[in-house]
């Protein structure tokens, strides 16, 4: 059973779809899923809808949220995609996301709230946790993006600059890329890249395009024993950044609360290789383990 | 002149135990006509969503009441995509039209983008609607599926895979689809019904004898700022890549397209 909610929060209109558990009424636990980047709240190929259906089947009330400006919710939007991502990666959408979580908390008095989604949604959930940890009791991070895409898209300029670098600087850069698995030889070889990452100093692991505030938010959630499910494209860029951050920032035992699933032969939005089904399976298992 | 904000009401239409999602964009003031907006297919629907919402708001601001909806098994509507076919989606459009618009008191116009254009043209052929506006519809659903398979093939070829996993060609996908009963394309599992029904769903161009107005716009993709088409032209330029494809702009400049469409709807 689905319901539409259109709350006005801080003068801005949100549009949400609420999936109620089969037995009716709201549940003690709830799951909130934000927009996957700039796409509407159902997600690519209905990923968010399928996750919500799985969660509702487990007796968890689930909310899929269009933040102001996205999907059916009115509001301003940047003209260009890169500006949208700049806002997302610097946590500028987190306040709007936190308002939605506050609203959901007040609905039916859910006692535990999990939040997350794919890519930009995972980023928003992490930034929300960093700002208001009391709002979130668990994180569902699908392909979280622990790096700035702005720097990545400006790589053309970086390469130009690299041609003017001294030979020693170029050599240093190549070593960094090798140790952090950014290079094409180490990236697809997990055992080799893990062995090399073990040699890399912390400043190298957290260097380059790493989104440090987001990385620290993740590390804090791990330290605070927040249950987390991380689902990443196996050997993908986001999986490797996650490895780098965990290696650099995790204290002993911090990873104990993190469940991880790697999906092979897929893409960033999970629209290949039957990844959506696998992702739903992993989420169902994780939610049932959260009792 | 800035367009005044109009009310938007999202809701579900309960039909035979199913929930069909729709959004009503209320006109600013008394509605001149109602417009049923038929969305495109699969990933194109996701990527064109923001533009279709913008267009609906634009029309609402100019006095039209617009109804957007999702076919069963897609977007917010319930149902399993894999078990749906083109006939089901055509029926959904009819159900939404009858369930949300009072035809006895209002003029109804049909609008569709890409696949939605095929659906809108079929409804128009059945005598529904007083006017038809179509943006860049494929000639039929089969061509659309083949085009999407070609894209799947191209995307697959760009990914590193083992030789055994490498796609053999579009026909290999079709064989796999018919053999296994389903094929994953852009994350959606296409059921066999899509292939079977795809030849039935063709773009129907209204006959010369039909007095109702119809406008089939071709959208020519152009890099840089699009230029205005001469009055009466059936081709409008839009920024490249098209707004139903991956691109760098969330809000591309579609002023000419919106204005050209509005001129037709007002006429």
pLDDT (tens digit per residue) in A53-85:
999 999 999 999 999 999 999 999 999 999 999
The β-bridge relationship of strands A61-66 and B182-185 is unpaired
Q: How far is B197 from chain A (nearest CA, A)?
A: 21
As given in the structure block, the two tokens for residue B166 are 């490498």
pLDDT (tens digit per residue) in B181-236:
999 999 999 999 999 999 999 999 988 899 999 999 988 887 766 666 655 568 88
Q: Give first-to-last CA distance, chain B, whole Å.
A: 20
As given in the structure block, the two tokens for residue B102 are 């009072």
Nearest CA in chain B to A270: B187
Helix intervals (H) in chain A: 47-57, 81-89, 94-106, 120-131, 149-153, 155-163, 167-179, 190-197, 202-205, 212-223, 237-249, 275-289
Q: Say yes or no: B8 contacts chain A, CB-CB below 8 A.
A: yes
Tell if the CB–CB gap between A72 and B78 is shorter than 8 Å: no
Cβ A174 vs Cβ A167: under 8 Å: no
Range in B60-69, B110-119, B164-173 with the lowest mean pLDDT:
B164-173
Cβ A287 vs Cβ A116: under 8 Å: no
Q: How far is A46 from chain B (nearest CA, A)?
A: 6
Q: B82: exposed, middle or buried (C-beta count within 10 Å: 0-12, 13-18, 19+)? A: middle
Residues of B in contact with A275 (CB under 8 A): 187
Residues of A in contact with B8 (CB under 8 A): 72, 74
Tell if the CB–CB gap between B49 and A81 is shorter than 8 Å: no
Select from B76, B77, B248 the residue whose CB has the most chain A CBs within 10 Å, as the one to mutate to test that interface.
Answer: B76
What confidence category does residue B103 fall into, taking pLDDT thresholds of 50, 70 and 90? confident
Residue B166 pLDDT > 70, yes or no?
A: no
Q: How far is A81 from chain B (nearest CA, A)?
A: 5
B82 contact partners, CB below 8 Å, separation of at least 6: B73, B182, B188, B189, B190, B191
For residues A214-242, one letter each, b for 16 or more C-beta atoms within 10 angstroms of the residue's C-beta and e for the rest, the string is bbebbbbbbeeebbbbbbbbebbbbbbbb
What confidence category does residue A249 fall into, taking pLDDT thresholds of 50, 70 and 90? confident
Of A4, A45, A272, the CB nearest to B12: A4
The whole-angstrom separation of Cα A53 and Cα A30 is 12
The whole-angstrom separation of Cα B83 and Cα A248 is 47
pLDDT (tens digit per residue) in A110-157:
999 999 999 999 999 999 999 999 999 999 999 999 999 864 443 444
Tell if the CB–CB gap between A46 and B12 is shorter than 8 Å: no
Supply the ipTM of this predicted assembly: 0.92
Range in A12-21, A170-179, B251-260 with the lowest mean pLDDT:
A170-179
**Stated pTM of the model:** 0.91
pLDDT at A24: 73
pLDDT (tens digit per residue) in A145-196:
999 986 444 344 444 444 556 777 777 777 777 777 777 777 778 888 888 8
Residues of B in contact with A265 (CB under 8 A): 161, 165
Backbone phi, psi, residue B102, to 5°: -85, 100
Chain mean position to CA A136: 14
Q: Say yes or no: B88 contacts chain A, CB-CB below 8 A.
A: no
Select from A39, A46, A80, A269 the residue whose CB has the most chain B CBs within 10 Å, as the one to mutate to test that interface.
Answer: A46
Residue B125 pLDDT > 90, yes or no?
A: yes
Cβ B57 vs Cβ B36: under 8 Å: no
Residues of B in contact with A80 (CB under 8 A): 248-250
pLDDT at B167: 63
Tell if the CB–CB gap between B184 and A6 is shorter than 8 Å: no
Strand partners, B221: B238
List the helix and strand counts (H, then E) for chain A. 12, 10
Q: Taking a contact as any Cβ pair under 8 Å apart, which residues of chain B between 170 and 209 contact chain A?
A: 184, 186-188
Which H or E element spans position B245? none
As given in the structure block, the two tokens for residue A237 are 């860029």
The whole-angstrom separation of Cα A250 and Cα A216 is 10
A93-103 average pLDDT score: 97
Residues of A in contact with B19 (CB under 8 A): 2
As given in the structure block, the two tokens for residue A74 are 């009115």
Tell if the CB–CB gap between A78 and B250 is shorter than 8 Å: yes
């Amino acid at each position: 059973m689905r319901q539409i909610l259109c709350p006005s929060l801080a003068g801005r209109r949100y549009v949400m779809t609420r999936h109620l558990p089969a037995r009716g009424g709201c549940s003690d636990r709830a799951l909130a899923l934000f927009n996957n980047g700039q796409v509407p709240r159902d997600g690519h190929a209905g990923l968010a809808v399928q996750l919500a259906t799985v969660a509702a089947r487990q007796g968890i009330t689930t909310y899929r949220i269009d933040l102001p400006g996205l999907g059916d919710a009115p509001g301003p939007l940047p003209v260009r995609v890169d500006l949208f991502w700049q806002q997302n990666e610097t946590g500028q959408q987190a306040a709007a996301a936190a308002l939605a979580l506050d609203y959901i908390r007040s609905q039916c008095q859910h006692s535990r709230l999990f939040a997350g989604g794919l890519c930009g949604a995972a980023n928003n959930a992490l930034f929300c946790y960093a700002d208001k940890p009391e709002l979130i009791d668990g994180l569902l991070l699908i392909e979280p993006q622990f790096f700035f895409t702005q720097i990545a898209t400006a790589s053309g300029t970086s390469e130009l600059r690299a041609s003017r670098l001294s030979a020693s600087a170029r050599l240093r850069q190549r070593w960094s890329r090798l140790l952090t698995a950014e290079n094409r030889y180490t990236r697809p070889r997990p055992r080799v890249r893990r062995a090399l990452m073990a040699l890399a100093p912390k400043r190298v692991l957290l260097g380059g395009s790493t989104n440090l505030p987001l990385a620290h938010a993740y590390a804090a959630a791990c330290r605070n024993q927040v249950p987390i499910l991380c689902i990443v494209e196996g050997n993908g860029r986001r999986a490797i950044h996650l490895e780098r951050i965990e290696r650099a920032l995790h204290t002993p035992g911090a990873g104990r609360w993190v469940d991880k699933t790697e999906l092979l032969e897929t893409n960033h939005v999970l629209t290949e290789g039957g990844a959506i089904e696998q992702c739903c399976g992993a989420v169902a298992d994780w939610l049932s383990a959260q009792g | 002149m800035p367009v005044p904000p109009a009310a938007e009401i999202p809701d579900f239409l309960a039909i035979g135990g199913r929930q069909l999602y729709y959004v009503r964009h209320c006109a600013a003031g008394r509605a001149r006509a109602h417009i049923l907006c038929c969305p495109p297919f699969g990933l194109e629907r996701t990527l064109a969503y923001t533009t279709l919402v913008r267009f609906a708001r634009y029309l609402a601001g100019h006095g039209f009441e617009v109804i957007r909806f999702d076919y069963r098994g897609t977007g917010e509507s319930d149902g399993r995509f894999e078990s749906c076919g083109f006939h089901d989606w055509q029926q959904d459009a009819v159900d939404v039209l009858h369930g949300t618009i009072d035809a006895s008191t209002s003029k109804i116009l049909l609008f569709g983008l890409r696949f939605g254009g095929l659906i809108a043209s079929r409804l128009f052929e059945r005598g529904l609607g007083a006017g038809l506006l179509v943006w860049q519809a494929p000639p039929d659903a089969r061509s659309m599926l083949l085009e999407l398979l070609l894209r799947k093939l191209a995307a697959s070829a760009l990914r590193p895979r083992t030789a055994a996993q490498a796609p053999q060609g579009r026909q290999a996908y079709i064989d796999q689809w018919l053999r296994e009963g389903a094929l994953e394309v852009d994350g959606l599992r296409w059921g066999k019904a899509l292939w079977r029904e795809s030849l039935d769903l063709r773009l129907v161009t209204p006959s010369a004898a039909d007095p109702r107005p119809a406008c089939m716009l071709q959208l020519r993709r152009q890099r840089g700022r699009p230029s205005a088409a001469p009055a009466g032209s059936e081709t409008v330029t839009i920024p490249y890549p098209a707004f139903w494809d991956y691109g760098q702009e969330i809000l591309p400049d579609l002023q000419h397209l919106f204005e050209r469409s509005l001129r037709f709807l007002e006429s």
